[in-house]
Structure 1
Amino acid sequence: MESAKSCSIEEATYSLPSKAHWSDNLARRAVHRLLARIGRGRLSVHDSEGTHEYGDPESPEPLHAVIHVHHPSLYRRVLLNGSVGSGEAYMEAAWSSPDLVKVVRLMVANMEMLQAMDQQRNPLRRLLSSIYHRITANTLKGSRQNIAAHYDLSNELFSLFLDRNMIYSSAIFASPEMDLDSAAEYKLRHICERLQLSEQDHLLEIGTGWGGLAIYAAKHFGCRVTTTTLSQEQYHYARDWVEREGLEERITLLLKDYRKLEGQYDKLVSVEMIEAVGHDYYPDYFSRCSQLLKPEGIGLIQAITIADQRYRQALGSVDFIQKYIFPGGSLPSVSVITDHLCRHTDMQLVGLEDITFDYAETLRHWRERFFAQLSEVHNAGFDDRFVRMWEFYLCYCEGGFRERVISTAQLLMAKPACRQLPQVR
């Protein structure tokens, strides 16, 4: 399905400079030279000097993106800070687009040009990126701070756009007709079935979220669940929900780092939590997962991944998502995951299912629901700058998934003594 058009706020309320900075014209010429490298699709840029067309009009690539430049500071920001600068300029309403997802898709479809744009960043920016990674490292203390920065924003905010089970990860759309609630619940059932959960099982969940998966597994599959989070807001929300459901005897809720967990469990699940682990901590994460599983256990990780070919390059950079949305966040690649399974566990990868395009659809639904509740977002205390930041975040991710520069997969892992694996269907 083609992505829905951007639901941006057209009336900006920010105080942009009334006059262009002397360097803006120089930056404008440099950025337009970079845009001239676009080879796939087409880009139309409307600014104070007219309309500029880039790309091949005869290109079989159907993407045609449109940008309206409202203030020339956009060019300076892009020249100094690449794609991060474009996001910052969007937050300040220096530019807009009738379909922001298309802009993101066009840019990543022209990866060589996008990389050249990001490489324009000056040495000071690269030094700051290095420092950023140090101060947002996912130590025991750092992880709590990083998690709180995003997940403790407001339970009310997340409830405005997530499904009824408060699932903040990719749904699975088994059919095009599915709505978000149905697709999110289908994903929960799919995970439980892949893990072959039963009343005899004790499931460990690393990354509670708001409690949706733990409650679903306990109610529908009868298993015991121990689940842990670092978010105070999520912990309190999940605790109250578990009590309302009367599941206190089946669900144990912890406010504890995965590195502090003890015991052994029949099954393990960790849904889109690995993105908050950090590259330097993968050995500990995977070894802990292995140690926490019984000899015959199985585990499932749902992970957002980056292409193997781009993993090393991403290690030293700071993108918009890391700077403004998920501090300390990082994406593994599939080969990095399998390498750590090999070197730090006795587990084997026994199944992989790609749900990348399901995530693009999930993000489209989140974005539409977010903007349908825009007045409530404002009432919850979030201003237009925050709204534009989140619009850029949601569109940035959706475009990345639609072009498959980032992916999502469910990886099933088994311990050596496991003799019951889910059947291939």
Structure 2
Amino acid sequence: MTTLSPAVPRVLVDPERWPDVAQVPPGVRARTAAAVTRGLFRRAVDRLAVRVVLPDGTAIGGARAEPGAPTMQLHDLRAFLRRVGSTGLIGFGESYLAGEWDSDDLAELIAAFATGVDALVPAPMKRMRSSYLARQPRADRPSPENSRSNVERHYDLSNEMFALFLDPTMTYSSALLADPAEDLATAQHRKIDRMLDQAGVREGTRLLEIGTGWGELALRAAARGALVDSVTLSQEQLEWARAKVERAGHADRVDIALRDYREVSGTYDAVVSVEMIEAVGLDYLDEYFAVLNRSLAPGGRAVVQAITMPHRRALETKDGYTWIHKYIFPGGALPSTDMLTESAAASGLRCTDDLAMGDSYAATLDRWASTFGTRTDDLERLGFDEVFRRMWTFYLRYSEGGFRAGYLDVHQLTYQQAAA
């Protein structure tokens, strides 16, 4: 593998807004890390079904002779190796943000990397990684003091920005698709309706929703005649959801409050929570399920839609700090189904139904990313620069690749109180 001089920057980066994207790691340590990474990267990609094209046109990788293979086009090898050598996967993502590499099919490329994730880093280095990779900042831990700011940094970016790529229901979680070509709003309603059915929501049901989103589930429950209390930590979502409920004429049935889930009081016939558990943090899973249990009236049901990862990987990455943490979801963590089962049982809840729907999430993310990619002019009008656009493209396709590879999954889980 040839080391080349730095390429001409392909993305204009504002150093004040994106300091770690603007600066390639300097110094002896970065040069040494790059030298080690060069050989590791070559050996790793040669085991994977990918094609990596170096700046001089040389192709490497296990599928280098296959034109249809997912391709990584490296524009600045020196910068890429320094970033990955210095900060691992954070550097991998920052290198993409800086325009130092591209891909013709980013999701498939990520899926190939995710499928061979265990081959990418040798076992001795895995054991050492906690000593050289960054750890989650204390200020990002999803404690009661930090959760509000964590949520704001993602969900309060701009309602208008989210509206550019979400379907008209403004539902920011996996749809449940019956067909890959199905209208996304229809598939989102199927997902919501299944959760409400599982929870037994009907006329007169007292329903607690933990995590409001932009209000579609609360609205759909109110249309069934339920009385809904919904809590969120996003001011932007709160305002949007309240206005949505008001326009639909259901303000008398839906109360939306800016409140941490730990502050919820009252007793309900049903509790629902859609992809909010990822913001809870693994250290707080027991507390989260305890809130679900104490909020349920006898005989009530809770339905949780949760993104998960394999148990071993969840344990290995428990205390890590990733690109997703740094740029997308501060304080977030994906549990395993084993962790969910254990925490639910500790609170007195048992799982009575489990629907895995990872394929639907891969398709949902593909729709979002494809739409997002067509909205460059609108994003510029809203003040989002090219680094931000590449960041969200990487995030959406990175997530899609995880679901395509089976590295990630999403479950609708129904819980009832265990018999005394």
User: Could you state the TM-score of these two structures normalised by the residue count of structure 2?
Assistant: 0.89
Residue from 57, 69, 85 that aligns with 2:74: 69
**Partner Cα separation in structure 1 for residue 68 and residue 259 of structure 2:** 46
Displacement after TM superposition at 1:216 (Å): 1.2
SS of structure 2 residue aligned to 1:64 = coil
Displacement after TM superposition at 1:49 (Å): 3.7
Structure 1, unaligned runs of 5 or more: 1-9, 419-425
**Partner Cα separation in structure 2 for residue 47 and residue 24 of structure 1:** 19
Mapped pair 1:291 → 2:294: yes
Displacement after TM superposition at 1:240 (Å): 1.1
**Partner Cα separation in structure 2 for residue 29 and residue 295 of structure 1:** 59
Mapped pair 1:394 → 2:399: no
Superposition map of 1:301-340 within 5 A: 301-340=304-343
Aligned to 2:349: 347
**Partner Cα separation in structure 2 for residue 124 and residue 164 of structure 1:** 46
Which piece of structure 1 moves more, 112-121 or 81-90?
A: 112-121
Aligned to 1:35: 42
- 1:41·1:64 contact (CA, 8 Å) conserved in 2? no
Displacement after TM superposition at 1:32 (Å): 4.1
Aligned to 1:83: 89
Are residues 306 and 123 of structure 1, via their aligned partners in 2, closer, same or farther at CA, if it must alter by over 3 Å? closer
Aligned to 2:3: none
Aligned to 1:362: 364
Mapped pair 1:185 → 2:184: no
Residue from 33, 46, 55 that aligns with 2:53: 46
**Partner Cα separation in structure 1 for residue 164 and residue 193 of structure 2:** 23
Letter in 1 for 2:382: A
Aligned to 1:423: none
RMSD across aligned positions (CA)? 2.6
- 2:51·2:63 contact (CA, 8 Å) conserved in 1? no
- 1:259·1:285 contact (CA, 8 Å) conserved in 2? yes
Are residues 29 and 335 of structure 1, via their aligned partners in 2, closer, same or farther at CA, if it must alter by over 3 Å? closer
Letter in 1 for 2:245: V
**Partner Cα separation in structure 2 for residue 237 and residue 319 of structure 1:** 30
Mapped pair 1:197 → 2:201: yes
User: Could you state the TM-score of these two structures normalised by the residue count of structure 1?
Assistant: 0.88
Displacement after TM superposition at 1:141 (Å): 2.0
Displacement after TM superposition at 1:270 (Å): 0.4
Aligned to 1:215: 219
Structure 2, unaligned runs of 5 or more: 1-8, 15-21
Aligned to 1:102: 108
Letter in 2 for 1:215: L
Deviations, residues 203-240 of structure 1 (Å, cap 9, x unaligned): 10000011111001111x11111100000101111111
SS of structure 2 residue aligned to 1:315 = coil
- 1:350·1:414 contact (CA, 8 Å) conserved in 2? yes
Residue from 238, 254, 257 that aligns with 1:254: 257
Aligned to 1:372: 374
**Partner Cα separation in structure 1 for residue 84 and residue 127 of structure 2:** 9
**Partner Cα separation in structure 1 for residue 23 and residue 414 of structure 2:** 53
Displacement after TM superposition at 1:102 (Å): 1.9
**Partner Cα separation in structure 1 for residue 419 and residue 177 of structure 2:** 33
Deviations, residues 365-392 of structure 1 (Å, cap 9, x unaligned): 0001111222111111100000011111
Are residues 63 and 40 of structure 1, via their aligned partners in 2, closer, same or farther at CA, if it must alter by over 3 Å? farther
**Partner Cα separation in structure 1 for residue 46 and residue 166 of structure 2:** 37
Mapped pair 1:12 → 2:11: yes
- 2:55·2:73 contact (CA, 8 Å) conserved in 1? no
**Partner Cα separation in structure 1 for residue 132 and residue 291 of structure 2:** 35
Letter in 1 for 2:96: Y
Residue from 111, 119, 128 that aligns with 1:113: 119
- 2:79·2:100 contact (CA, 8 Å) conserved in 1? yes
Letter in 1 for 2:79: S
**Partner Cα separation in structure 1 for residue 331 and residue 351 of structure 2:** 27
- 1:44·1:51 contact (CA, 8 Å) conserved in 2? no
SS of structure 2 residue aligned to 1:74 = helix
SS of structure 2 residue aligned to 1:318 = coil
Count, aligned residues: 401
